[in-house]
């Protein structure tokens, strides 16, 4: 799977949360199906997200790389997938 293409597709056709605060808010509402974190996501926040028993995929790049792959003009350390839309991004569930 091309992760960059899947990220663009989910942003265009699906529903995602961007950023730690918004992702945590949606995790508490049990709406997030997959969490994508950058490789330099703070460990404390990562451990807190893992307590929700939602699959976590670690993106191979930094938060700046994840932002660029998502076509955002800013860094993203955490992204939550609520609805995959036409994307096959939920196939990443098995990866960590």
Helix (H, G, I), strand (E, B) or coil at 55: coil
Distances (CA, A) of 2 to 39, 61, 62, 91: 17, 14, 17, 11
pTM, rounded to two decimals: 0.90
What are the tens digits of pLDDT across the range 56-88? 999 999 999 999 999 899 999 999 999 999 888
Contacts of residue 68, defined as CB under 8 A and 6 or more positions apart, other chains included, come to none
Helix (H) or strand (E) holding 78: strand 78-83
Residue 65 token pair? 């790389």
**pLDDT level of residue 96 (50, 70, 90 thresholds):** very low
């Amino acid at each position: 799977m091309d992760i960059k293409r899947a990220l663009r597709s989910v942003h265009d056709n699906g529903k995602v949360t961007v950023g730690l605060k918004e992702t945590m808010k949606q995790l508490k509402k049990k709406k997030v199906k997959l969490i994508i974190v950058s490789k330099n996501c703070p460990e404390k926040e990562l451990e807190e997200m893992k307590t929700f028993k939602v699959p976590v995929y670690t993106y191979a790049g930094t938060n700046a790389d994840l932002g660029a792959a998502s076509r955002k003009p800013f860094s993203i350390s955490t992204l939550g997938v609520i609805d995959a839309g036409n994307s096959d991004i939920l196939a990443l569930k098995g990866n960590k």
